[in-house]
Amino acid sequence: MTTPRLKAGFFVRALIRRAEVAGAPAYLVKKGSEEAGAVFIKIAKLDGTCTIYSQTTLPDGERAWARPLGETCDEARASAYFEKQQKYDPDLWIVEIEDRQGRVFFDEKVV
């Protein structure tokens, strides 16, 4: 079953609001294409580690999130990853959420 795709800008604004309502500060690090830019989420655990999530589409068309750098990584590795991604896709979005618990604020599954 395919999940309807929201415009990137709408999704990002809703994500930031959802995180902030739950008490987790959220910041727009990079604004991408309003219509269809790729979205990356960095969950900073405030201990020098973070988890990066990137959108993906499963073979059945369902939207999901992947952790391209594994369960956790350090800030330097995350920054290098984002620099590389921006060279490939200058229209991408980057959202940073500060949450010691490492909570995600989206409903799609993580693969």
* CATH superfamily of this structure's domain 8-98: Protein of unknown function (DUF1491) (3.40.1530.20)
48 to 42, 51, 63, 109: CA distances (angstroms) = 12, 11, 29, 25
| Per-residue model confidence as pLDDT tens digits over 22-35 | 999 999 999 998 88
DSSP letters, 3-66, are PPPPPHHHHHHHHHHHHHHTT--EEEEE---TTT--EEEEEE-SSSEEEEEEEEE-TTS-EEEE
Tokens 């999901």 map to which residue? 64
Tell me the pTM.
0.91
| Per-residue model confidence as pLDDT tens digits over 11-69 | 999 999 999 999 999 999 999 988 878 999 999 999 999 999 999 989 998 989 999 99
